[in-house]
Amino acid sequence: MFEARTRAARALLQIVVTVLTIPFVFPLVAMVQGSFAGTGWNNYRAVFEIRALPLFFRNSALIASSVILVVYACTMLAAFGFSKLHIRARETYFWLLLAALTLPEVVLLTPLFATATTLGFYDTYLAVVLPLAALQIPFTVLLARNFMDGIPNELIEAARIDGATMARTFRSIVLPLTRPIAAAIIVLTLITAWNDYLLPLVFLQNPDLQPVTLVPQFFVSQFNNDQTKVLAAAVVTAIPEVIAYLGLQRLFERGLSAGALK
Amino acid sequence: MDHEVLAGPGVRAHGAAAPRRGSRGTGQKRARRGRPRVSGVPWILPALVVSAGVVYYCIGYTGWISTLRWDGISPDRTWVGLGNYARLFQDPVFWKSMEHTGVFFVVTTTAQILLGMAFAALLHSRLRLAVLYKVAVFVPVVLAPATMAPVFRQIYAPDGQFNKILDAVGLHDLTMAWLAKPATALAVVMSIQVWQSVGVAFILYFAAMGQIETEVLEAARMDGAGNLRVLRSIIWPGVRGTTLALITLSAIASLKTFDVPYLVTSGGPSYGTEFLGTFIYRMSIPQSEVGYGAAISVMLLILALGTAIVFNAGGRDKEIRRV
């Protein structure tokens, strides 16, 4: 966008972008540096000696994959229904779903808490997975429906004329065509579920069930507020996310910025 | 990064939104001719049950709780009508959180737009190592606020890196305990939000700028327009849709703010970083004033829904006028 004809001008632009980037990298540098302060690698040794550590990761993976499964199944079915099938008062249902987009998690706490304790699913994954999926679905349906609107109806009609049932058409024609949007939806849901803090904080009291976002707290109590080890724990929990992003850059960027494309 | 994938295969083939409308139109015509229609209701039912079911059940329940004086557990509940709402409007902490939300929205949105535009324009300018800059700006989007909170507490601590930097550049007089004063604590919370959200603005602007035709840019340069003039007269209007979308998104995100103030400052000191989210949490969980918390929740919902409607209507209006 900017044009730099002279070498000096190019160098100037390069310097400007570098200076602007420094504040973004700085906290990460501070995190890594802080994690080596004091006893150096021993901070990491202390973190890895906590036997519960792999458990936190397993729990995050369990929660995230359950949310992804529920969201993916509900989203694809609903987007197909909204986009291609006959529904009376279709837009009413659609807006009913979209209105839920503005709902913050914190509003769900009290009613969910009361319901979960009454029905006995407090301190189980259901109490975290269900609200996470509920809050994610409106948005992913919006994305997937917009995408499916771009699939020509003739394609679906042709399959029907060839004798395929609607379920078969959906499975063999629609699902393969929607892979790009499905990938964006899965990544977006993965990050939302993996990074969620409030719901596990309130609904998962059993340490055996807690996800990685609760690790800093666990380590604060575990290490008597020894900052260097808490930072080492932060580095250990951040690394898988950074690696996942570096490996799937375009998917992550597309999925996470899909939020504003309406 | 490209929008075409999100827009769907039909759009990719034909180029604009028009063929979509066309294809839906023919579908309806055929349906009217008497082909047996398959009802879509069973298809949308799971999503409606899991999402709308949970959400509206919770909203209804919250509305009912908001008329009670209740600690959330004991069977002892007193109906107080709109008493919680009356209390809310007289609560200085509520007005403080509203004020913080407003300041937070204006500051973080402006920063997101300016920095997002700057990075997008700069990285469209054929610089070296562009990927590295992109990764550096986007990594914060991926990381959990819960993971980064201890890091930021450390950076802004009295003996933290931020004060050390100030010291090193000769601004020793500015060093202080950043999280200990309400005004600076709010600034810290906003700086963390900006750090986490510029990546998304950048990616969106980067994609939007890719859609601006190079012929227009070249023509402007032929007419003698400089970089800043091009930025103001061509790029800025060209990415207007993205800016409007970002403002809407940021308004709702400001109302929803919870993780960063809760984790970094716990809403303090002396309610200096209290937001509606942290206020609801503090009332509902540690203070067990569930009825009052529910009344704040209802207010928050009304505000969020109102914001979404106002910004959407406003955005559409302007869009039409432009065309």
B6 touches chain A (CB under 8 A): yes
B12 touches chain A (CB under 8 A): yes
Output the tens digit of pLDDT for each of chain B's 323 residues. Answer: 334 344 444 433 333 333 444 444 444 444 444 455 778 899 999 999 999 999 999 999 999 999 988 887 788 888 888 989 999 999 999 999 999 999 999 999 999 999 999 999 999 888 888 899 999 999 999 999 998 998 999 999 988 889 999 988 888 888 888 999 999 999 999 999 999 999 999 999 998 888 888 888 888 888 888 888 888 888 999 899 889 889 988 998 999 999 999 999 988 888 999 999 999 999 998 888 999 999 999 999 999 999 888 887 765 544 443 33
B44 touches chain A (CB under 8 A): yes
CB atoms within 10 A of CB B241: 18
Q: How far is A37 from chain B (nearest CA, A)?
A: 12
Amino acid at A147: F
Calpha distance A127→A130 (Å, rounded): 6
- Name chain A contacts of B41, Cβ cutoff 8 Å: 81, 87
- Name chain A contacts of B267, Cβ cutoff 8 Å: none
Identify whether the C-beta of residue A184 lies closer than 8 Å to the C-beta of residue A143: yes
**Mean pLDDT, range A14-27, rounded to an integer:** 94
**Angle, CA A259 vertex, CA A254 and CA B1 arms, to 5°:** 20
pLDDT digit string, tens, across residues A207-258 = 889 998 888 888 877 777 678 888 888 898 899 889 999 988 888 887 776 6
CB contact under 8 A, A10 and B127: yes
Q: What region, left, alpha or beta, does residue B271 occupy, with left being phi > 0 and alpha being psi -120 to 50 degrees?
A: left
Q: Which two tokens stand for residue A126?
A: 């259901």
Q: How many residues does chain B have?
A: 323
Residues 6+ apart with CB under 8 A from A192: A67, A132, A136
B231 touches chain A (CB under 8 A): yes
A168, A222, A250, A257: best mutation site toward chain B, by most B Cβ within 10 Å?
A: A257
B44, B127, B161 member nearest A93 (Cβ): B44
Q: Which two tokens stand for residue A65?
A: 């994959």
Q: What is the pLDDT of residue B279?
A: 94
CB pairs under 8 A between A and B: 338
pLDDT digit string, tens, across residues A53-72 = 889 999 999 999 999 999 99
pLDDT digit string, tens, across residues A167-176 = 999 999 999 9
Q: Which has more pLDDT, B28 or A12? A: A12
- Name chain A contacts of B214, Cβ cutoff 8 Å: none
A3, A100, A197 member nearest B259 (Cβ): A197
Q: Which of A146, A143, A164 is nearest to A155 (CA)?
A: A164
Q: Is the ipTM of this complex over 0.90?
A: no
Give the chain A residue whose CA is nearest to the CA of B247: A260
Instruction: Give the ranges where B66-181 is alpha helix by DSSP (H).
Output: 83-89, 92-123, 130-142, 145-155, 161-168
CB contact under 8 A, B151 and A147: no
- The CA distances from residue A94 to A77, A79, A99, A142, in Å, are 13, 10, 9, 9
Long-range contacts, B263-268 (Cβ 8 Å, 24+) = B263/A197, B263/B145, B263/B146, B263/B149, B264/B149, B264/B152, B264/B153, B264/B179, B264/B188, B264/B189, B264/B192, B265/B179, B265/B185, B265/B188, B265/B189, B268/B185
A147, A150, A216 member nearest B150 (Cβ): A216
Q: How far is A1 from chain B (nearest CA, A)?
A: 5
B2, B6, B12, B65: best mutation site toward chain A, by most A Cβ within 10 Å?
A: B6
B11 touches chain A (CB under 8 A): yes
CB contact under 8 A, B195 and A27: yes
CB contact under 8 A, A104 and B142: no
Residue ranges of domains in chain B: 87-322
pTM (2 d.p.):
0.87
CB contact under 8 A, B58 and A111: yes
B169 touches chain A (CB under 8 A): no
Q: Which has more pLDDT, A43 or B318? A: A43
Residues 6+ apart with CB under 8 A from B47: A74, A75, A77, A78, A97, A137, A141
DSSP string, A12-81: HHHHHHHHHHHHHHHHHHHHHHHHTTTTTHHHHHHHHH-TTHHHHHHHHHHHHHHHHHHHHHHHHHHHHH
pLDDT bin (cut points 50, 70, 90) of residue A184 is: confident
Tell me the sheet residues that pair with B68.
B79
CB atoms within 10 A of CB A6: 8
A5, A107, A117, A246: best mutation site toward chain B, by most B Cβ within 10 Å?
A: A107
Give the chain B residue whose CA is nearest to the CA of A130: B50
pLDDT digit string, tens, across residues A124-137 = 999 999 999 999 99
Give the chain B residue whose CA is nearest to the CA of A114: B72
CB contact under 8 A, B277 and A104: yes
- Name chain A contacts of B154, Cβ cutoff 8 Å: 30, 34, 227, 231
CB contact under 8 A, A24 and B281: no
What mean pLDDT value characterizes chain A? 88
Pick the CATH number of B87-322 from 3.90.380.10, 3.30.43.10, 3.40.50.720, 1.10.3720.10: 1.10.3720.10
CATH class of the domain comprising A36-260: mainly alpha
Give the chain A residue whose CA is nearest to the CA of B39: A86
CB contact under 8 A, A93 and B135: no
Q: What is the pLDDT of residue B20?
A: 42
